[in-house]
Amino acid sequence: MRRACLALAAVALAAPALAEKPPVVLAPQGDWEILIEDESCIAARLFEGDGEPHLFKLEQFGPSGAVSMSAFGPAFRPFINLQPTELRFREGQRLHKSNPFTAVLPGFDKGIVYGSVTPNWDELAELAAAGTPATKQPVELDVETGRKIAFVGFQQGGRPEVRIATGSMEGVFQSLNGCTYALLEKWGLDTVRLRSALRSPALINSKKTWGELRKAYRSNAQQGERGVIVLRVSYVRARFGSTATSPSASCHRLAALAKAATAAPAAPKACRNTPFPKAFG
């Protein structure tokens, strides 16, 4: 009898340890800021956890149903580079599973970086599973999906979820959509025609293109460098616009992006005959 009581006591003591750990919640500090850069649109907001500042940032380089996402601060110190990580925007949502990389942002500590996330991934997955894929690819962020967002939660391994208490992001998605279309107009492209498109523009040889870029920066990747390279292509007779960007200017932009992503970048092969800044000799 004594042995049975001891066994029951051991089970009772172990039960709390098996319970789900509560999330680490980061509370908002201040309002969202929409930053319009020459090449991108950024939505950023400060959050606080344990008295420490954290930064959450969304970035787009043109109209798209996907967005680059990053978050920095002490709460992300335990996260490991390129390890399986779960992402969600509300309770009960189908988890988004991927292997994001980590980085350090001066002034905000370590962080986690997603090169591209489609916010309504769960709805698209359900359509695909039912054999009815979407008839129209999104050319902008889905505002209704933004309205449904309650938080942005990141979880890796058995560690507690880090939950950014964003609340609804309907207004943020609307602002980013407006900003990215303004970028198109600045580049001389036709936003009306793009909005009516059935799908976003895409490279037909994307696998080969990204393969060439990886080969161009392979030495830096072997040294442990990490980054996101963004490639924007403008055609002389673009389907959605009338003004083209010269190859020289396009290559200079790509070079500048590569410089930010790598320690000692080499000029991409597609731009080898273009005069690069001195740092890219």
Q: How far apart are CA 261 and CA 10, in angstroms?
A: 53
For 119-150, write each residue's pLDDT tens digit.
998 888 887 788 776 555 668 999 999 999 99
* Residue 243 CB partners (closer than 8 Å, separation 6+): 187, 188, 189
Residue 72 has pLDDT above 80, yes or no: yes
pTM of the predicted model as reported, rounded to 2 decimal places: 0.71
Average pLDDT, the chain: 76
pLDDT higher for 133 or 114? 114
Q: How far apart are CA 120 and CA 66, in angstroms?
A: 9
Residue 188 has pLDDT above 80, yes or no: yes
Region of residue 265 (phi > 0: left; psi between -120 and 50: alpha; otherwise: beta): beta
Lowest mean pLDDT among 117-131, 161-175, 224-238, 242-256: 242-256
Lowest mean pLDDT among 11-25, 137-151, 166-180, 257-271: 257-271
Share of the chain above pLDDT 90, in %: 47
Specify whether the CB–CB gap between 20 and 158 falls below 8 A.
no
Binned at pLDDT 50, 70 and 90, residue 196 comes out as confident
List of domains in the chain: 24-195 (2.60.40.1880), 206-280 (no CATH)
What does the block give as tokens for 124? Answer: 């698209």
Specify whether the CB–CB gap between 253 and 276 falls below 8 A.
no
Residue 33 has pLDDT above 60, yes or no: yes
